[in-house]
């Protein structure tokens, strides 16, 4: 087993566990973007969001909500980001589905991605391609 998160699940590697139940584990990120940055994973190995069964995603997201509320209250932050990097091109370093919960502090220097604009007809074009009927 070469997955670093699977090694954390089976306690081969140490972690700072924030939450654990039979199917979900949450632990502090070892390279935090901000104080309290937490990762939430399914214990069973799934590479990304597409390969993870919906019922497992629902269980993980329920834990994301619990951890987010705990972070907000306990660390007294006004908000937090929830992120999933899906695929290497999107910044996914560990190929095991994981949700980042990143507490946000005033003037913390973290920036989100730049926003663009659609040109004439581009929104309609992309809508035709991705709309689910």
Q: Residue 105: which H helix or E strand, with range?
A: none
How, if at all, do strands 79-83 and 17-20 pair?
unpaired
Cβ pair 100, 83 in contact under 8 A:
yes
Q: What is the Cα–Cα distance from 85 to 100, expressed in whole angstroms?
A: 9
Nearest to 42 by CA among 58, 23, 61, 28: 23
DSSP 17: E
Q: Is 45 a catalytic residue?
A: no
Q: Which of 37, 96, 98, 100 is catalytic?
A: 98
Q: Residue 27: which H helix or E strand, with range?
A: strand 24-28
Q: How far is CA 112 from the centre of its chain?
A: 15
Catalytic residues, which ones?
A: 98
């Amino acid at each position: 087993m070469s997955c670093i998160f699977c090694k954390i699940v089976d306690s081969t590697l140490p972690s700072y566990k924030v939450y654990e139940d039979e199917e979900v584990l949450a632990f502090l990120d070892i390279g935090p973007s901000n104080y309290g940055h937490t990762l939430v994973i399914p214990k069973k190995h799934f590479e990304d969001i597409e390969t993870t069964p919906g019922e497992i995603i629902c269980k993980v997201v329920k834990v994301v909500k619990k951890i987010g509320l705990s972070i907000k209250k306990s660390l007294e932050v006004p908000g937090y980001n929830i992120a999933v990097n899906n695929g290497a091109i999107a910044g996914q370093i560990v190929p095991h589905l994981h949700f980042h919960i990143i507490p946000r502090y005033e003037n913390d220097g973290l920036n989100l991605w730049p926003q663009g604009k659609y040109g004439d007809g581009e929104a309609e074009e992309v809508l035709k391609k991705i709309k689910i009927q």
